[in-house]
Amino acid sequence: MRKAMITGITGQDGSYLAEFLLGKGYEVHGIVRRTSSLNRSRIDHLRSYEQGPAPRLILHYGDLGNSAALVKLLYELRPDEVYNLAAQSHVRISFDIPDYTIDVTGTGVSRILEAVIQSGIGRAVRFYQASSSEMFGKVQEVPQRESTPFWPRSPYACAKAMAHWLTVNYREAYNLFACSGILFNHESPRRGENFVTRKISIGAACIKAGLQDKLSLGNLDAKRDWGYAKEYVEAMWLMLQQDKPGDYVIATNETHTVRDFLEAAFGRLGLDWRRHVEFDEHYLRPTEVDLLIGDYSKAKRELGWEPQTRMKALAELMADADYRLTKAGRLCPFGKPEESGFGNIESICDSGSPGARAAQLDSVPR
Ligand code: NAP
Ligand code: GDD
């Protein structure tokens, strides 16, 4: 049985990737960090894989700040594939906590790559690094491709650029099978609530349900290439199945403004966003990335990967999912989701009452 290790398994992408790999028959080892309250709602629905005599989902405590634990885990587990998805991933917040962001999102990658070497697994493992279109920043070419020069515009993007080059360097220096996936923005009903798409879908749902009337946002002119996270995790896996390691842009090759996303999400719920959205300068960034649009032709040619879901359909599926949550009483006013089962939105909406779900959470020790 093939064995994969995922850092960042509790995040949006980690949860979809875990599902995808379990579906392919992998044994999946997820690294979780210690938090004062459990923070695993996006993978709660996978709990059955953790149980029984031969579990296929196994969680381990670890942190990208802790080299020794990474070496030990890699030495003991000897995974076939490592997906490094862990990061402080919020761009604006990286201006508030730059050292921390650089330590986790940048230096953390040096720690895990070095752990691959120190654990002795080296060439035996295939390594995926979650790189970002934010590295293109003040874009030097439109659309952006693998060879487009980087001009990072935030501490987060600087850290990701360092991590990208470390991945390339370890590939060249130690002949590691190390790939850098340069993913453009990808979203889903599991997206963190403080990224703009999810803020919009939650806001629209709560306004529609009469729970709030206003939604505060920053720059509505920024253009992003938004795809569906569930489809992007397959591209990560495909990169690690090739004969040779490489770097790939994953995108939709379409770009839309935040305004367009508002139009699609609010429109889906029969709302006019102009009546509800107000400007708050708090959400502006000291330096902004104005335009992202990716050229995924290398991924199409070499991986056979293509996006299926475009911005409008994505905004609609997110608005639908959050509206179902509000109707089930699971989204509070001001867009603050309740704790229980938050990440498992697709299945919560189809089954189980909030109370039953909360009880289920309480009854299983973790
Ligand atoms: P996310 O939802 O913010 O998830 C980040 C994950 O990293 C969470 O599981 C988080 O754990 C974990 N983490 C944070 N700090 C850690 C640390 N010190 N040690 C170990 N784990 C830590 O991010 P995402 O949207 O799934 O993105 C996955 C990766 O792709 C990230 O590296 C992100 O920067 C990158 N990326 C994302 C996009 C996008 O549009 N989504 C685009 C390009 C690249 P907790 O749950 O405990 O916080
Ligand atoms: N978060 C947020 N909140 N963004 C807002 C808001 C708001 O209230 N109002 C406007 N925006 C604008 C931002 O200024 C930015 O131009 C755009 O919406 C997208 O912001 P985010 O959704 O926070 O995403 P991001 O593009 O900064 O970063 C995401 O994508 C990167 C890939 O390009 C993150 O997922 C990164 O981790 C990822 O690497």
pLDDT tens series, the chain, 366 aa: 999 999 999 999 999 999 999 999 999 999 999 999 999 999 999 999 999 999 999 999 999 999 999 999 999 999 999 999 999 999 999 999 999 999 999 999 999 999 999 999 999 999 999 999 999 999 999 999 999 999 999 999 999 999 999 999 999 999 999 999 999 999 999 999 999 999 999 999 999 999 999 999 999 999 999 999 999 999 999 999 999 999 999 999 999 999 999 999 999 999 999 999 999 999 999 999 999 999 999 999 999 999 999 999 999 999 999 999 999 988 765 444 443 333 333 333 332 333 223 223 222 222
Q: Cα(132) to centroid of ligand 2, in Å? A: 12
φ/ψ bin of 247: left (φ > 0), alpha (ψ from -120 to 50), beta (otherwise): beta
Nearest to 88 by CA among 155, 152, 181: 155
**pLDDT given for residue 32 in this prediction:** 98
| Amino acid symbol at 316 | E
Residue with tokens 């201006």: 95
**pLDDT given for residue 342 in this prediction:** 37
Residues 6+ apart with CB under 8 A from 100: 88
**pLDDT given for residue 330 in this prediction:** 83
Q: Cα(263) to centroid of ligand 2, in Å? A: 17
Q: Which of 26, 156, 228, 232 is catalytic?
A: 156
**pLDDT given for residue 337 in this prediction:** 43
Residues 6+ apart with CB under 8 A from 194: 90, 93
Nearest CA to ligand 1 atom 43: 132
Nearest to 46 by CA among 82, 19, 79, 11: 19
Distances (CA, A) of 230 to 16, 234, 236: 6, 8, 11
Residues with beta carbon inside 6 Å of ligand 1? 7-8, 10-14, 33, 35, 39, 63-65, 85-89, 104, 130, 132, 183, 185-186, 192
Residues 6+ apart with CB under 8 A from 159: 87, 94, 101, 102, 104, 105, 106, 107
Residues with beta carbon inside 6 Å of ligand 2? 89, 91-92, 132-134, 184-185, 194-197, 199, 217-219, 222, 224, 258, 283, 285, 288, 292
**pLDDT given for residue 164 in this prediction:** 99
**pLDDT given for residue 357 in this prediction:** 30
- Contact indicator for 292, 153 with CB cutoff of 8 Å: no
**pLDDT given for residue 340 in this prediction:** 33
Q: Cα(134) to centroid of ligand 1, in Å? A: 14
Kindly give the residue spans of alpha helices, DSSP state H, lying in the chain. Answer: 12-23, 67-77, 91-96, 98-101, 108-118, 155-174, 196-208, 229-239, 258-268, 297-303, 311-327, 345-350, 354-363
User: Which mutation among 85, 224, 314 tests ligand 1's pocket best, with the greatest number of atoms within 8 A of CB?
Assistant: 85
Task: Return the structure tokens found at 190.
Answer: 């599991």
- Contact indicator for 146, 155 with CB cutoff of 8 Å: no
Spatial separation of the C-alpha atoms in residues 273 and 319, rounded to whole Å = 13
Catalytic annotation on 353? no
